[in-house]
Amino acid sequence: MPSFCGVGGVGASNGHPLVGQMQKDAPTVMNLKAIQTFYKGYHFRSRLEARWAVFLDALGLKWEYEPEGFELPGGVWYLPDFRTTSPTGLVNWYEVKPSGVTSDPKVTVANRPIVDLFGLGDEPGMGVIILSGDPLEHICFDDVFDESRYLDGVRVCPRCGVLEEAQYGIYDMGSDGIHFGCQQCDFDTPCGSGNPKEKGVLTKVEPYKGSLIVKRAAFSLYLRKVHTAATMARRARFEHGQSGANK
């Protein structure tokens, strides 16, 4: 049991009035509230949310913070944290959660009409997407960059920028480059091969429906850019002003 300067555990005052008062006044974890953080003119409800804003900026994604709320079935109100818009007009909604939290009842209810419409089950990447932990954790990167570890796990589409795993997989196609299978780009690109190359959010891609072909050198630079952006977000020191500058 934890103790205060060797004066016994929290559950026993040992006759010491200070320890007894600390026990009486100590807040529970459920009562603790995150300190609001100011960045880019927004007051974020937590520093974690602000770190995601830094990440989105570093990637060059257009974002808005809590731009619109919704009334869910049963009269429950829900306000997603972020809305992003890709250069082609794809809109994505995100809910930021602490590390390890991967579900939310309101998100489940908000996504149900989309899930039912496409018959996808609880498919990720559709509707509101939960961002668990800070960008470096969610995107599956470590502090030290190692490209060989992230070929299969990076959670940012190089074309549209959706912050979710590649629903159709990532494959090494040898000399042809890297295949990145994005479900959202599947709805946003024409059928057939021979489509013109596009300047994606993060790198040039050759779309074939949801299959995005990225040259190997360009894919390496894309991974590096995502890792750098996530590292910047984790290291941001907001006490230096709304720039979120690194110390």
Q: What is the DSSP letter of 156?
A: S
Residue 113 falls in which region: left (phi positive, over 0), alpha (psi -120 to 50) or beta: alpha
Angle between helices 216-235 and 47-59 (to 10 degrees): 150
The partner residues of 84 in beta bridges, in order of sequence, read 63, 92
Q: Two tokens at 75?
A: 């009269």
Segment 46-51 shows an average pLDDT of: 95
What is residue 22's predicted lDDT score, i.e. its pLDDT? 37
Nearest C-alpha neighbor of 225 from the set 204, 246, 242: 204
Residue pair 59/226 in contact (Cβ under 8 Å)? The answer is yes
pLDDT of residue 161 exceeding 50: yes
Q: For the segment 101-142, what is each residue's pLDDT rounded down to a tens digit?
A: 988 998 888 887 665 544 444 444 458 999 999 998 888 666
What 3-state class would DSSP assign to 180?
strand
**Is pTM beyond 0.85 here?**
no
Q: What percent of the chain has pLDDT over 70?
A: 70
Task: Return the amino acid letter for 191.
Answer: C
Residue pair 184/160 in contact (Cβ under 8 Å)? The answer is yes
The partner residues of 71 in beta bridges, in order of sequence, read 77
Q: Write down all domains in the chain, each with its CATH number in brackets.
A: 37-140 (3.40.1350), 147-226 (no CATH)
What is residue 116's predicted lDDT score, i.e. its pLDDT? 57
What is residue 148's predicted lDDT score, i.e. its pLDDT? 67
